Amino acid sequence: MGITTFPTIEKCTLEGRARDTVVANLDGTLLRSKASFAYFALVAFDVGGVLRLLFLLLVSPFFSILYYFISESVGLQVIIFVTFVGMKVSDIESAARAVLPKFYSEDLHPESWRVFSSCGKRCVLTSTPRIMVEPFLKDYLGVEIVLGTEIETYKGRATGFVRSPGVLVGKNKANALRRIFGETQPEIGLGDCDTDIPYMTLCKESYYVPRNPRIKALCINKLPKPIIFHDGRLIKKPTPLMSLLIILWIPFGFLLACVRLSVMSLLPIPLQYYVLLAIGIRLTIKGTPPPRIKKSKDQSGVLFVSCHRTLCDPVFLSVLLARSIPVVTYSLSRFSEIISPIKTVRLTRDRASDASIIKQLLKKGDLIIFPEGTTSREPFLLRFSSLFAELTDEIVPVAMENKMSMFHGTTTRGWKWMDAFFFLMNPRPTYEITFLNKLSYEFTCKSGKSSHEVANYVQKVIAETLSYECTTFTRKDKYMALARNDGTVVKNT
């Protein structure tokens, strides 16, 4: 009996499924793609770096031969060994929690999800190591039971080998299902290949998911939980071809980043715009920035209140204004402070002390502040701290948006001092900065509004400009979700 003897998934009815149990394979069934190389490559690069990714790429032809012509189980054991051997288990878990969900969510099969999401109890069987897929499946898809390949560990590190009974394929999947459900039959089984038949026959109804390379992935806004926080340096899924391009680009990209960083650090701000354009950095300005205020005793500087995308935000804002404007920051590595072409001032997280620092800076001139307190990647804005609204009425909201094609210029769990390098390693990094109108009297604290109302209003107008969504998540929420800490950078680092 072949997999095609089962009815296709389109024929599965959804009525009355709220109490039913569904069992599905992951790669090729819940996900459109059967290929799992890219997800192993993400872990390899995030935890082991470019050399681990290179090693994995060199082994990939051997893995493909074993997987497709010898044995799926043997092929997977090879790629698991190359990816995991010597890695800390905690680092693998961290990558699975912070990096992989974003990429998994972009490959969900719409028909499989239609059936899968209609059932009240959800179980996934997968040959992929459970440690890689469990955070995504449980946190974002509401899966209760995840049965996957288990890896061997020794003193907190992965050995690269798999535990008995081995890779979860074929009969191993059926045996794992029996151990969980016993004689109880799940109502629905979903699969995409002949090796899924053993567990599918244990279900009351079974449906086949045909391979269709043209089918579009499920829109991520249809997930039960949006992916607001994610980490990792790679923007695109590292298929074998993309992995090769990344590896070949990194040496040249690093040299290019050094040149760009030298220009930004050493050249006077008013002279940078055209030089940056010549070396591949595109800056676009929208709206009308306010003119420089002529200082007087009672006049404070303008406070530019912006969303926060990368470490380069205040530098590029200064470049477009053709003058150096100081920025206040909560956490910044010492290296980033040293190379910064503009003045950076650390805040203390003590509200009274920080208010005093900001007031003194505004007396001297204009200032940049990022009320989110940290960078964000997705089309969401974190909650704006209200402190800035209490200190001045000269507030200009600024909407920042950037485009990168290869590397993210931010990190939560990695080396923060490399953020600027990774952003500038992109072939053509782009920034679009929109200056909005200065807050009118009725939207400031002087009119009687609370500082929280003002902060929420500024967040709202920036979000509307960028077509982003406002959230109440904070900097602490981000770091707890991704790194399990509060994100504080010690001053002497």
φ, ψ at 123 (rounded to 5°):
-135, 140
**HSE-CB for 421 with a 13 A CA cutoff:** 14
- Judge whether 183 and 202 are in contact, CB under 8 Å: no
pLDDT digits (tens, 9 = 90+) for 153-180: 999 999 999 999 999 999 999 999 999 9
Contacts of 128 (CB under 8 A, 6+ apart): 26, 27, 36, 39, 148, 149
Q: Where are the beta strands (DSSP E) in 196-273?
A: 205-208
Query: Quick one: tokens of 457?
Result: 């209003």
Residue tagged 């249809």 (tokens): 222
pLDDT digits (tens, 9 = 90+) for 429-463: 999 999 999 999 999 999 999 999 999 999 999 99
Nearest to 174 by CA among 203, 147, 193, 198: 198
Query: Which domains are assigned to the chain?
Result: 3-222 (3.40.50.1000), 240-482 (3.40.1130)
pTM for this model (two decimals)? 0.93
Nearest to 188 by CA among 9, 398, 417: 9
Kindly give the residue spans of alpha helices, DSSP state H, lying in 267-322.
Answer: 272-278, 313-321
Q: What's the CA gap between 235 and 257, in Å, rounded?
A: 17
Dihedral sign computed on CA atoms, order 192, 197, 200, 206: positive
pLDDT digits (tens, 9 = 90+) for 1-55: 688 899 999 999 999 999 999 999 999 999 999 999 999 999 999 999 999 999 9
pLDDT digits (tens, 9 = 90+) for 180-192: 999 899 999 999 9
Q: What is the pLDDT of residue 109?
A: 96
DSSP codes, 384-423: PPSHHHHH-S-EEEEEEEEE-SSB-S--SSS-GGGHHHHH
pLDDT digits (tens, 9 = 90+) for 103-142: 999 999 999 999 999 999 999 999 999 999 999 999 999 9
